[in-house]
Amino acid sequence: MALVAPARCAQAAASAAAAVGLGAAGHVLGGGLPGLGGVALAFLLIAVPSWMLAGRERGWAVIASVQVAAQQVMHPVLDATADTASRDALPHDVAFYLHLLGALFMAVWLRVGERRLWAAARRVAARLAHWWDALATPLAVAAMPPVPTAAVRAGFRAPPLRHVVVRRGPPHTA
Would residue 141 count as lying in a domain? no
pLDDT at 84: 62
d(CA 174, CA 61): 86
Rounded Cα distance between 41 and 26, Å, is 17
In a domain, 100, yes or no: yes
> What is the secondary structure of 39-102 as a DSSP string?
HHHHHHHHHHHHHHHTTS---HHHHHHHHHHHHHHHHHHHHHTS-GGGTTSS-HHHHHHHHHHH
Q: How sure is the predictor about 142, in pLDDT bands with cuts at 50, 70 and 90?
A: low
What is the tens place of the pLDDT at every residue in 101-132? 888 888 888 888 767 777 787 888 899 988 88
Query: Is pLDDT of 90 > 80?
Result: no
Distance CA 174, CA 171 (A): 10
Q: Which of 2-6, 15-19, 145-149 has the highest mean pLDDT?
A: 15-19
* Residue 172 forms part of a structural domain: no
- 153 in a structural domain: no
What is the band of 1 on the pLDDT scale with cuts at 50, 70, 90? very low
- From 109, 103, 13, select the one nearest 64 (Cα to Cα): 103
* pLDDT surpasses 50 at 164: yes
Quick check: is 35 in a domain?
yes
Q: Domain limits at 12?
A: 5-111
User: Does a structural domain hold residue 132?
Assistant: no
Number of structural domains the chain divides into: 1
Let me know if residue 106 belongs to a domain: yes
Could you report the per-residue pLDDT of 66-76, keeping only the tens digit for each?
Answer: 888 888 888 88
